[in-house]
Amino acid sequence: MELPVELFNYDLPKNLIAQYPMKQRDASRMLVLDRRTGKCEILPFTAIVDYLQPEDGLIFNNTRVISARLFGRKNGIPDGAKIEILLLRTLDPDKKRWQALLKPGKRAQPGTKLQLIPRTPGTNPKPVWCAVNKKSDDGSYTLEFDNLDITRLQAEFGHVPLPPYIRRDDEIDDIERYQTIFAATPGAVAAPTAGLHFTPEVLQQIQNKGVATAAVTLHVGPGTFKPVSVPDAAQHRMHSENFVLPSKTADMINRTHDAGGKILAVGTTTVRVLESCCNEHGAVVPRAGDTDIFLYPPYRVKSVDMLLTNFHLPKSTLLMLVCTFARRQHVLAAYELAKKEKMRFYSYGDCMLLK
């Protein structure tokens, strides 16, 4: 069945795209959308505690963003071509070989050697070089580093990979703020942004209420920002991301549902993991691997009852996923209300609870 991408379009004034996070994580606003009626209200994020009951469960993504953006000079020449590197995933246990995106790629063809530029100007860390070995059909490259210490690489050369709609260079504060309090397993090049609103205090309030909490891992890739470029969404080729659904998390979800409780997923990435691992009745089984699942209407999510998510780009796969929780018209009407009320959009913006 054809699904025109234009159905998921909306206009957004650029001044509503958050360029910085709130001073306090939990100071953001939350638009609450009733999935059945379309009724909306705007509350402080901290009100999320009131929407959870002792028999419910909360699932979050514990991926950790790596400082994956690097810059290098071609052949180490001081005034040579400057190449931007975005590490995507490691290709060997020693983490010397990486799949990466290069910009401009035409200046870094296979055989090119790049000397990395230190993160902080004026510093002189021990040089790090990488060789461009191969270009793949998907436009990515294979890079090989010499004697790589990944911790030193990120600390001395790495930049926070802020999304393209944040039109500024990364700053020291981004190292901590573009990371959730749940972050534990390194591997993402974009944050699971719905989790950015949580503080240890809010999480403790939820747990004190008797709500069970558990984690999945999905390493968010740059494809999360990739627009749908075909007129029919059903023809879009979804990017693939690595995930883990642990046994204890799967058991908690199934126990919660069996007891009549609800599952709140923190973010679309969490939903992608759970829907990749559930049967037609909504029961989930532990798994690990890669998923390229693409969720769009009229599909209805089976493993999750509530969703906390940020506001998403027009015509994006993430907005389409949100529309599997509620009618598209209700979701887009909620977005119009968010615009009217000058809510903050995208990664560092406000959030939305679909209940």
Domains within the chain, CATH numbers bracketed: 5-65+175-354 (3.40.1780.10), 69-156 (2.40.10.240)
For the question of whether the overall pTM of this predicted structure is more than 0.85, the answer is yes
Residue 329 phi, psi (nearest 5): -65, -35
Distance CA 2, CA 55 (A): 40
Rounded Cα–Cα distance for residues 115 and 145 (Å): 10
With b for 16 or more beta-carbon neighbours within 10 A and e for fewer, the 168-200 pattern comes to eebeeebbebbbbbbbeebbbbbbbbbbbbbee
Give the separation between CA 304 and CA 167, rounded to whole angstroms: 34
Give Cα 245 to chain centroid, integer Å: 17
Q: Which residues of 249-259 are buried (b: 16+ CB within 10 A; e: fewer)?
A: bbebbbebbee
What is the pLDDT tens value at each position of the chain, 355 positions in all?
789 999 999 999 999 999 999 999 999 999 999 999 999 999 999 999 999 999 999 999 999 999 999 999 998 888 888 999 999 988 888 778 999 999 998 788 888 999 999 999 888 889 999 999 988 877 899 999 987 788 888 899 999 999 999 999 999 999 999 999 999 999 999 999 999 999 999 999 999 999 999 999 999 988 777 778 899 988 998 888 999 999 999 999 999 999 999 999 999 999 999 999 999 889 999 999 999 999 999 999 999 999 999 999 999 999 999 999 999 999 999 999 999 999 999 999 999 999 9
278 DSSP 8-state letter: B
- Assigned token pair, 276: 């990749």
